[in-house]
Amino acid sequence: MPVWHKKTQEWVASGKLVVLGITQEQHPDRCRLFAQWQKFDWPILWDPINVMESTAVPIVIAIDEHGIVRSTRPRPDTIEAEFLNVAFSKDGTGTPEASTDADGQVPKQPDLAALQQIAVQEKTARSYRDFADAAILWGGTTQVDAAIAAYANASKQKPDDAAAMFRSGVAYRVRYDSALRQPDDFRNAVQRWEQALALNPNQYIWRRRIQQYGPRLEKPYSFYDWVEQARQEISARGEEPLPLVVVPQGAELAHPARSFGIASEEAKSPDPEGRIQRDTNSLILAEITLVPSEVRPGGSTRVHIALSPNVTLQAHWNNEADPLHVWVDVPEGCQISQRSHTVAPGTNESTSLEVRRVDFEVQVPADATGTIKLPVYALYFVCEDVDGECQYLRQDLEVEIAIADVGK
């Protein structure tokens, strides 16, 4: 889009053209940062659930002043002669016009309560999905639980609805990135994206959403390596970079690789004999997601681990001691991209409640079958209650890699 933006600036300034963008990005704040970096000054609509049902991006569409689509593949070097300088008549080609309401105006925000009532009464896949779509696009996190439930009902009514399955994954990831996060939200998101792609393997956008969090061997490019450059260049202009709700890290920054990178053997297990006291009270909660969730023999997966204090016990990180340390042992025949991980506090405060994340890749043997158990443990300083005891504890994490049955 930067090419189109640069090409169209003069036409926009002269009033010959209006530019409007649509992004299929899961996180709208990342699109806002990109737009700030590239100095896009036109509106960009957010379509995380792919209402447009696009199978690939980018798509450029030329719509005339009558709301009629004149070209779905205009070129920057010919659009002026073939579109901007052409006087179109309203009945020129019979191409369908853009949808409007009875007054000829753009439709307004939907009535979520009315759509939900229709879904409750009709109990059809379409009515459930219509409400869930509106809830995600217009209701924000206040409606995300209702959207997840509605997508689930839609899938029960129509199990082969790939779009509903993908959008359900989007809803789970929205909740995962919010204060309402529930255990396994990220895992549920990935599994539903995978199920949707299995139903429609030609969906480019759905495949990219999975690859965003997946191993380097399956990446087409680094999805967010531009973020740091964007921040630096925006700051150099004297501007404040727009904040990100979830800062890309790990898999989202990783570049594709043609071969699996093996971890250095220099690192040593910090607790090889398992002598550190276990976190029997679950002061720190762990969420584990694998992308992909099922691995072909000889293939690789990216393991995502999120650790956070158990707020029901008023637990919190103790930042005055050593940082979180996650260690990965290597099962026989497997390869690990990185065995030792440390995560520093995200604040200068002595205590904090943030989620701490690590991710790494595992390549399984070519003859792997069934399930591979990956020995992983975390060491951390954590405090219970406001003035409670602070301890150095260990948690053994249950990471299981399911091997796909290639005979199916």
* Ranges of H-type helices in 158-249: 162-176, 185-199, 204-211, 226-236
User: Where residue 278 sits, what CATH number does that domain have?
Assistant: 2.60.40.10
User: SS3 of 393, please?
Assistant: strand
Asked whether residue 273 falls in the same domain as residue 384, the answer is: yes
Q: What is the pLDDT along the chain (408 residues), one digit of tens a residue?
A: 778 888 888 888 888 899 999 999 999 999 999 999 999 988 999 999 999 888 877 888 898 888 888 888 888 888 888 888 888 877 654 343 444 443 444 457 899 999 999 999 999 999 999 999 999 999 989 999 999 999 999 999 999 999 999 999 999 999 999 999 998 999 999 999 999 999 999 998 999 999 999 999 999 999 999 999 999 999 999 999 999 999 999 999 999 988 887 666 667 899 999 999 999 999 999 999 999 999 999 999 999 999 999 999 999 999 988 899 999 999 999 999 999 999 999 888 888 999 999 999 999 999 999 999 999 999 999 998 766 788 999 999 989 999 998 765
Last residue of a domain, one of 66, 84, 102: 84
Does some domain include residue 255?
no
Last residue of a domain, one of 151, 182, 211: 211
Q: Are 155 and 132 in contact (CB under 8 A)?
A: no
Number of structural domains, the chain?
3
Q: Are 300 and 361 in contact (CB under 8 A)?
A: yes
Does some domain include residue 238?
no
Range 32-41 contact pairs with CB under 8 angstroms and sequence separation of 24 or more? 32/242, 33/227, 33/230, 33/231, 33/241, 33/242, 33/244, 34/226, 34/230, 36/230, 36/234, 36/239, 36/241, 36/242, 37/226, 37/230, 37/233, 37/234, 38/1, 38/2, 38/5, 39/5, 40/1, 40/5
Domain that holds residue 169: 112-211
**Beta partners for 242?**
none
268: Cα within 13 Å, side-chain hemisphere: 4
Tokens representing 198 are 């299995």
Asked whether residue 303 falls in the same domain as residue 344, the answer is: yes
Does some domain include residue 219?
no
Q: Are 186 and 303 in contact (CB under 8 A)?
A: no
Asked whether residue 385 falls in the same domain as residue 294, the answer is: yes
Does some domain include residue 372?
yes
Asked whether residue 80 falls in the same domain as residue 155, the answer is: no
Asked whether residue 385 falls in the same domain as residue 271, the answer is: yes
User: Where residue 169 sits, what CATH number does that domain have?
Assistant: 1.25.40.10
Q: Are 251 and 214 in contact (CB under 8 A)?
A: yes
